[in-house]
Amino acid sequence: MSNEILHSRIQDRFYDIFENPPEVPDYIIDNLSHNLRPYQVQALRQFIYTQRSDTADIAFNHLLFHMATGSGKTLVLAGTILYLFYEKGHQNFIFFVNSDAIIKKTYDNLTNTGSTKYLFKNDGIVIDGEQITIQVVDVFPAIPADNTIYLKLTTIQKLHMDLTNPRENGLTYESLKNTRVVLLADEAHHINVLTRSDKRNLNTKEEQERTWEYTISKLLRLNRDNRLLEFTATIDLTKDALFHKYSDKIVYQYDLKRFMTNGFSKNVVLLRANEDDEKKMLNALLLSQYRKYIAKDNEIDLKPIILFKSNKIAISLNANQSFLSIVENLTVSQLEKIIQNGLAVYHNKMSIWYKMFQYYSNMSLNQVVRDLQWDFTKETTLNANDTNFLSEGNALLLNTLEDPDNPIRTIFAVAKLNEGWDVLNLFDIVRISEGATSTKTTTDSEAQLIGRGARYYPFIYKGEQSYKRRFDDVASDLKVIETLHYHTINENAYIKNLEKSLESANIQVKEDKYERLEAKVKQKIRKSEFFKNGKIYINQVIPTTATDYQSFKNYNVSTSFEIDFESSVEKRFGSKEEMYSGTRRHEEQLYIDKALLQKAIQRNKFYRFSNLSTFVPSISSMKDFIENPNFLGGLNIIVSLPVGISVKDLTPIEKLKIIEKFLAYAEKNIRLNFMKERGTPIFEGVSFTELIDDYVVEISKVSNSIQLNEIRRPRNMHDHDWFIYDKAIVNGLENDMLDFINNYIEGLKERYNDVYLIRNERKVKIVEIGGIRGFMPDFLLYLKDDNCTYQVFLEPKGKNLLEEDKWKQNFLLSLSENPNIEILTENEQVRLVGVKFYTDVPELKNEFREDFTKKLIEKDN
């Protein structure tokens, strides 16, 4: 038989110049609560085409709308009700589905004018000036009233039972014989018991009659004017029996792949990790709150939802309790460590984890913890597995998750929400791995849930609301609120099945642009004396106070601000390279007009005095801030201009933008450096085992736009007993430094009893003495002779950072010369040594070699 479905035949007719395809009537458009999207309009046009008398050759009383989850099938359903009522005189509609929860949701959608998801106009349905009412009934009246649509809402199970076991004053086959009925089947794949079954020939007619599919088929045949309209996102047309049944009934087909490609869904990204469930839950919690912060930064009202998916109720209930405990017991110090570890792992700036941890590193963690413990509580959590879950209150909460007054942020579930759950602000689904299987059945269920979570959240941005993605092709943090993240395990068999399930469901998933590599401390090292009892020495810090911030200098804000001005920039489409107006330049000082300065301040909310005075407590007023020579009164802006352009040629708008760039730079540093900790000359030992452990690094798979020295690659270090890890995950410059150490390793071993090089993967931080700037040296060289232990700080540095990070080298070099350095309890047995930067600039590399050999190999005893 032909593989062509009805949908295709209708579309072919639409392209025929002799046909007159129908348009969607105004009474449908005017009475729906939402504007129809182009594909919904097309779905209704094709439906209407089958119902017109002049197209009777393909007019059907049984049709299927095969449309993606989240594509708005129910709005199309509402349109068909209006059409059949007005054009065909149908007043009796039976809506049936497989779930009580969907019935409660649909009751709101079709009858509750106060619901945010009501499908019709809130002021009522009006056609030809007549008010049309929708009345929910259990049985249909013998004499229907004018201008009334009668709607029976039921489950397929209850409808089957009512008809096969008739009761007095109930719905019966007999009572429906002379009643014209429209059957509306949602999640219609559930009524294909007979067609799907491999055992098509059931033993007895009685057994056949007990099936739901037979019940619906019998209802449809009771009256020649009856209609059956099915709506589903899930039907497997590769099965011959299902294709045979539905090929001439699929009036419109719009699969999930088209839906996603056209931008009407969220992007879907799989986040795979070798982490336990608690770590996954915590990361999802932080990612969800990061979304909320990003939305708030852009004046978008968003309450993102997390769904924790388990395979057993007991596991789900335990995960729920564990999650609440994690949040309740979270401390600032724990969060700080989580962020440091995260930044140590994720280096790909395109990674959502890098962006998230980087964002948190610039925030007040006290505030973050307070926000988390306010937003994620028992009261803001629903467990869909509780025996009392399907209460009216819970059903309402589930169906109104986007509402501002709905408090829910987290949901724990097994299977109750796989179907019929309309939620737009679900952004994270976390697979609870305990007890879970990796079978195709499991991943099919998960793919179905992912498809449901991919519904787009139509947020308002810059005064405009969109129902399509807006940031696919632009660099914007707002991509995170156009993305659904599925947090899962990194297990080959499971991932293979999940990918098959996603492909079967036509769900497009973004490819990971990175891989994760793990470096492990060698077992021999772990057993060594130096590792078990050794120490890493870091300096103590003391908190700053408000009195420490008397000028821009205290915030690392330079009042001598240099900025480039470009009169034109050329960028070829599809290229990342920019070509500026010219290379010949000159510098001029910009006179800072007070009116422009005040205008720039007014345009930045940070500089409102009520806020600014929190970060700059030494100022008494905005006038003081503007005129004080320690702040804006001492500002000197130097503009680098192309030859031929003078500062006098700049327009007021261009000058304003220059001042705004300085204010943005100052704001960032003020936020970053206020109430930080100041380094002291007092160093104390922290045990190796507390700071040094296995670590994971994210490696970008996309490296063609990255300079060679920035690309990190794993290097096997099993045979190098002086390196504590089994592999070194390093960039080109760091790899060169390892070669240098290897060349000098015999000389070091002749001088010292112990020689170990430690990769500091963002664990050991030192802070400049008397200052607030801290950093994490890339390598620590641990040396020990008969008299002393030496902790040597080594820092490879690219030439592009030499000037910017010069203060770090000065700090390191001062460690062995500063008379105030004190090492608690071990002053005589420990020496701190800083060596000049290792770099690929030839003359500076020679300086490193000389400094290294002088201080560590040729030094006096």
Asked whether residue 518 is assigned to any structural domain, the reply reads no
Asked whether residue 262 is assigned to any structural domain, the reply reads no
Q: Each residue of 193-219: pLDDT tens digit?
A: 444 444 445 444 445 445 777 788 888
Percent share of the chain, pLDDT over 90: 48
Examine the pLDDT at 284 and tell me if it is beyond 70.
yes
Q: Each residue of 676-732: pLDDT tens digit?
A: 888 999 999 999 988 898 887 766 554 433 444 556 778 999 999 999 999 999 989
Examine the pLDDT at 577 and tell me if it is beyond 70.
no
Model pLDDT, residue 18? 62
Model pLDDT, residue 765? 92
- Domain assignment of residue 528, given as a range: 523-542+678-856
In degrees and rounded to multiples of 5, residue 641 shows phi and psi of: -125, 150
Asked whether residue 755 is assigned to any structural domain, the reply reads yes
Q: Looking up tokens 């008379």, which residue turns up?
A: 819
Asked if residue 471 lies in contact with residue 220, where contact means CB atoms within 8 angstroms, the answer is no
In degrees and rounded to multiples of 5, residue 158 shows phi and psi of: -70, -40
Cα 147 to Cα 133: distance, rounded to the nearest angstrom: 7
Examine the pLDDT at 514 and tell me if it is beyond 50.
yes
Cα 442 to Cα 454: distance, rounded to the nearest angstrom: 19
Residues 696 and 586 in one domain: no
Q: Each residue of 381-438: pLDDT tens digit?
A: 988 876 555 555 666 777 778 888 889 999 998 865 655 567 889 999 898 887 667 6
Residues 213 and 277 in one domain: no
- Residue 739, helix vs strand vs coil: helix
Judged on CB neighbours under 10 Å (0-12, 13-18, 19+), 279 is: middle
Determine which helix (DSSP H) or strand (DSSP E) holds 632, and give its type and residue range.
none
Examine the pLDDT at 1 and tell me if it is beyond 60.
no
Residues 64 and 17 in one domain: yes
Model confidence, pTM: 0.55
> Residue 673 contacts by C-beta under 8 Å, 6 or more apart in sequence?
554, 555, 556, 772
Asked if residue 685 lies in contact with residue 488, where contact means CB atoms within 8 angstroms, the answer is no
Cα 427 to Cα 271: distance, rounded to the nearest angstrom: 12
Examine the pLDDT at 652 and tell me if it is beyond 50.
yes
Model pLDDT, residue 210? 55
Residues 733 and 663 in one domain: no
Q: Each residue of 104-143: pLDDT tens digit?
A: 778 888 888 888 788 999 888 999 999 999 999 999 998 9
- Residue 640, helix vs strand vs coil: strand
Asked if residue 533 lies in contact with residue 525, where contact means CB atoms within 8 angstroms, the answer is no
Model pLDDT, residue 207? 53
Residues 626 and 701 in one domain: no
Asked whether residue 457 is assigned to any structural domain, the reply reads yes
The greatest distance separating any two alpha carbons of the chain, rounded to the nearest whole angstrom, comes to: 111
Residues 538 and 551 in one domain: no
Residues 401 and 346 in one domain: yes
Four-residue CA torsion sign, 238, 242, 244, 245: negative
Residues 773 and 835 in one domain: yes
Cα 238 to Cα 245: distance, rounded to the nearest angstrom: 12
Which two structure tokens, joined as six digits, stand for 529?
């004396």
Residues 464 and 361 in one domain: yes
Terminal alpha carbon distance of the chain: 93
Residues 83 and 199 in one domain: yes
Look up the CATH number of the domain holding residue 503. 3.40.50.300
Residues 553 and 476 in one domain: no
Residues 758 and 631 in one domain: no
What residues form DSSP beta bridges with 766? 775
Q: How many domains does the chain have?
A: 4
Helices 365-375 and 313-328: crossing angle, nearest 10°? 140
